[in-house]
Structure formats: structure tokens, C-alpha cells
Amino acid sequence: MADLKRRNTRQKDAVRHALGEAIGFVSAQQLHLVLKNHGSTIGLATVYRALADLAEAGEADPLQSKDGELLYRACTTSHHHHLICRACGKTVEIEADRVEKWADEVASEHGFTQPSHTIDIFGTCSACQ
């Protein structure tokens, strides 16, 4: 995990770029379709691999959709959470320092170490009422 050699390929860059362009969360399949439509010959498996790499490198933000699909989003800053519209998928990044701390506290109270958490809020945004 530390000494893996990574090469820079145009394919990975393409995925990175397409992910940056995308609004909100997108699935690997959607990205693959977009890239294809733009003339790329990139393979679906490659998109999956690139996204997994980006996620591990902290450049992408993974999220399990309700129906078991794995969605990604370009991740600019540090740790944050999301407020997501159920209808249109619009996403707002939210800071949650208070909740971060709360989560870590709860974990250590119960003797759990290396705490991580999943916090996402869903709702219907003003445009979709």
C-alpha cells in the first residue's frame, strides 16, 4: 500500500477530469458513458479501477446509493459530509465539526478505536418540493 508504483496515464487523467466536471455524485457507469460519448475508448473496468484509486488517494468521495450503486464525487477539500436531494441529486457540502467530535467520543466511550463514520443527510431541496 505504501510502495505501489503508480503510473500516470491519460485514462486516469480523463477520469479525474470527467469527475471534476460532473455535478454531484456520479456512478462509474455514467462516467464511462460520458467518456465514451466524448470519443474516448476507455474501458469500463478501467473507469472502475481509476475511481477506486482516486478514492483511496483521497481525491474522490465515495457514497453508497440507496440501491447499492457506488457513486463518486470529486473531493476538493478535507473531510466533510453531504446534504443530498432525494429528487434531483443536488448536493451541498456541509461542515460537521461538532458531529465529528461526537462520533469520535461515542466510539471511544464504547472502547472502539480507529473511528470512522458515515453521515449523510437526505431531503427534498427547495426546487423539488
DSSP 31-53: HHHHHHHTT----HHHHHHHHHH
* 120 is a site residue for a second copy (CB under 8 A): yes
Give the shortest CB-58-to-DNA separation in angstroms: 16
Nearest to 78 by CA among 64, 106, 91, 97: 97
Residue closer to DNA, measured from CB, 15 or 75: 15
| Footprint (CB under 8 A) of a second copy, residues 1-60 | none
16 binds, among DNA, a second copy, none (CB under 5 to 8 A by kind): none
Q: How far apart are CA 102 and CA 96, in angstroms?
A: 10
> Is 124 one of the binding residues for a second copy (CB under 8 A)?
yes
Stretch that binds a second copy, among 8-16, 19-27, 52-60, 113-121 (CB under 8 A): 113-121
CA gap 36, 42 in Å, rounded: 7
